[in-house]
Chain A
């Protein structure tokens, strides 16, 4: 390996700082320039604002659900209101928030930059995906205006065949929102294949890119299935043909097969990008190469493909044959192992590194803790005989929150903090950041750990009311949700504050070694880079990253209050 610098020199703009220079944020200022933008960075920001709003609304619904469960019997709402509340919480969190979240916000912003590209392959398709998403969102609102949905986010038939017409709007909304995922997926796949900078071979791709690549494959292959399922549900209602509804001669179990054929792979849509972010954070804040780069990169793709073969583990007690149960259980395990191995890899990455406990790193470490619990509880529910007891109880609710919230949402938060300086050009308050990360960690565990115990004790999910003996643990969980909410609101608060009053961010406040940090200003130029990057090393070869640490380093990364001087000439010898 050569010790040549990764990029020939640094962007001119960084020498002068970005004072007064035109950036993607300020080169055009009209609302119209935002709504019709083809810039992947601006589209990322549009998504960020939209998805933050959805997360806020769905989160408030979750607090209402928890409040109702503070006591047995009716606490603040009727059974029907409760059922509608958890249904909306689930639908919004899953279909409108977590599925698009990381790819649409950070993927859009970061992926082309990490590739050294000017934009994604199809900028118009990219903008279309946001509009399609908004139409889906509008339909969800319509569904709420014309009636109410209380089917749970799973829409199991025949219950969902009998409810109000709102169910139709809702299924249509999901059908349409699905296209936005497909557009994003296609865009990313082509971009990764075609638009890598000179020298950026597959072996030098940052792991976030690998994660998004695997995700995109699943998005493109799986999303049509949920689309068709929702369409069939729609046609069954309108034309009264029997597909899923036994009253019309259909088969309700068929619906479950269709539904999980999408929704299990969708779990990987949710988690693979999170894996990517964690790889970036663990390396950047350990300043060490990742342990097992190839294993992590390729296992993401393997997980994405195998993920299509395990949907039946959601149906162990639904009446499918024992043989299918056994086969599905076995494959589920085989695909669980690579995820476990990744955890070990991330931990081992810190070995002989220089571990810097900034807020993003705190989220990465939280992720390791929470996702390990998520994974281990996943093994538990994958054990056939034990799952019979745990299925459809709060144990499962606890498990998927550890995975989806403890995994994906925590990774998203970590990623948002990490790339915030790049996206906004401002630093958030590091002290508040750490306090919030700790609050969220404590609140999360207080909310969801008791749910694991509740479930194992036999508390079924989707219950508006419960038997006396579960009261205590429910109360602990509700109190935890308030702590969690406090942490999240704190994040919202200091992030918004930083937009107006935050310190100016340097180009590379963390001393990271991927292109968006080493070659672009914060916030970046409208065209990302002022000259085409030429890549001569891997994404985590800190020892070769002379443009960050080397003597000819331009000094631009050095120094702002929150993230002092990572970039001084190194004392030690070049490795």
Chain B
């Protein structure tokens, strides 16, 4: 994700970015100027009128009304200027064009999944066409999250009890970060996805391939979901320890539970663990797994099939 941005801002890759950057740099340079005046004035006065003798007794100075009025009026004008400009761009960012391509996003602790109109879906990868307005309709499965793509200069909180949306028009192909920017717990800083901006034809090709899930054999689909749904953040397949138990060789084994009982990891148990993870907690692990009840029947079967093979 090469950064061809400026010192302050990352490379802009959406139509709105240029606007925001202008505004940012306008405020920035105005601020720099004010800062220079303040610091310059401060250093000059502190030096010019430095104390020369302990008995210095300067006379009180009469205040200059003109000076006072000017430093009330000028900042007020500047501030109203940036305010108006800022809110116009804000309105633009808030109103999606009616022809926008719509994608559904679901945020959960700790990952993203995206559903496309043709049934395709992807986890932690957002694929969008270049030069076309895209509107993301979002909801959260659990706590607050926030959808933030620095390169597009967009951000919107994702809430559990209502839909929110954000739109952008990417104008440069490439890969960009998508961060969760509302604190959401342990893996908040790992809730990072990648945005792929593609030409319309590449995007179509990707859509076709992604919706081909239907004819993929179950274990292969499961393998794909394992990364897409970010199971891999908490479960390894090589026996190494993460937040949750490794999938390696767990199928058909006795699994000790936190309640002191034990249970055989058969298809039903695996299924239940995915849909209702807190029903039975594996011993020695926190009850930290989110529910995946939103996955389709086929997807759950695919995951079970995948775990079986490990």
Contact = CB atoms under 8 A, between A and B. Distances in A.
Interface of A: 79-80, 83, 150-152, 156, 158-159, 162, 246-247, 251-253, 286-289, 291-292, 295, 316-319, 322, 325-326, 329-330, 333, 336-337, 340-341, 343-344, 347-348, 350-357, 365, 368-369, 372-373, 376-377, 379-380, 382-386, 388-389, 391-393, 453, 456-458, 460-467, 469, 511, 541-543, 549, 564-572, 575
B146 interface: yes
26 contacts: A79-B187, A156-B183, A158-B160, A159-B184, A287-B56, A287-B57, A343-B38, A351-B45, A353-B58, A354-B52, A368-B38, A369-B38, A373-B35, A380-B27, A383-B27, A383-B86, A385-B89, A386-B24, A392-B181, A456-B8, A458-B10, A463-B188, A467-B1, A543-B57, A568-B54, A568-B55
A350 B57 contact: no
> Which among B31, B157, B159 has the greatest number of chain A C-beta atoms within 10 A?
B157
B161 A252 contact: yes
Contacts of A458: 10, 148, 150-151, 177, 179
Contacts of A288: 58, 60-61
Interface stretch (B77-85, B127-135, B220-228): B77-85
Interface stretch (B65-73, B210-218, B267-275, B302-310): B65-73
Given A330-B83, A355-B46, A388 B181 contact: no
A42 to B, nearest CB: 33
A325 B90 contact: yes
> Which among B50, B63, B160 has the greatest number of chain A C-beta atoms within 10 A?
B63
Contact of A460 (B58, B148, B151): B148
A-B pairs with lowest CB-CB distance, top 9: A458-B150, A385-B89, A354-B56, A246-B161, A383-B86, A463-B189, A384-B90, A575-B59, A350-B45
Interface residues of B, number: 87
Nearest to A393: B181
B294 to A, nearest CB: 16
Contacts of A469: 1, 3
Nearest to B46: A355
Contact of A385 (B5, B7, B75, B90): B90
A422 B150 CA distance: 52
Contacts of A461: 181, 183
B189 A466 contact: yes
Given A79-B189, A322-B90, A159 B143 contact: yes
B155 interface: yes
A383 B41 CA distance: 27
B83 A150 contact: no
A83 B185 contact: yes
Contact of A465 (B7, B24, B35, B190): B190
Contact of A457 (B9, B23, B80, B154): B9
A317 B156 contact: yes
Contact of B192 (A292, A333, A467, A541): A467
Nearest to B154: A388
Given A337-B75, A372-B35, A385 B179 contact: no
A366 to B, nearest CB: 10
Contacts, number: 270
A289 B60 contact: yes
> Which among B87, B156, B162, B192 has the greatest number of chain A C-beta atoms within 10 A?
B87
A357 B50 contact: yes
Nearest to A377: B31
Nearest to B34: A376
Interface of B: 1, 3, 5, 7-10, 19-20, 23-24, 27-28, 31, 34-35, 38-39, 41-42, 45-46, 49-61, 63, 67-68, 71-72, 75-76, 79-80, 82-83, 85-94, 142-144, 146, 148, 150-151, 153-157, 159-162, 164, 177, 179-190, 192
Given A348-B41, A570-B57, 19 more contacts: A151-B183, A252-B144, A252-B161, A291-B61, A325-B87, A337-B79, A347-B45, A351-B61, A352-B59, A353-B45, A355-B51, A357-B50, A368-B38, A383-B23, A384-B86, A389-B24, A392-B146, A469-B3, A571-B53
Nearest to B17: A389
Contacts of A354: 49-52, 56-58
A178 B190 CA distance: 35
Contacts of A384: 86-87, 89-90
A379 B31 contact: yes
Given A383-B23, A457-B150, A158 B144 contact: yes
Contacts of B85: 383, 385
Nearest to A456: B8
Contacts of B10: 457-458
> Which among A79, A329, A356, A466 has the greatest number of chain B C-beta atoms within 10 A?
A79
Contacts of A457: 3, 5, 8-10, 150
A288 B156 CA distance: 50
B63 A291 contact: yes
B28 A380 contact: yes
B183 A337 contact: no
A336 B75 CA distance: 10
A100 to B, nearest CB: 26
Given A156-B183, A252-B159, A292 B93 contact: no
B20 A159 contact: no
A389 B153 contact: yes
Contact of A159 (B45, B68, B144): B144
A388 B83 contact: no
A80 B188 CA distance: 10
A380 B32 CA distance: 12
A175 to B, nearest CB: 22
A365 B181 contact: no
Nearest to A564: B54
Contacts of B148: 392-393, 458, 460
Contacts of B1: 467, 469
A431 B258 CA distance: 62
A466 B190 CA distance: 8
Contacts of A369: 38-39, 42
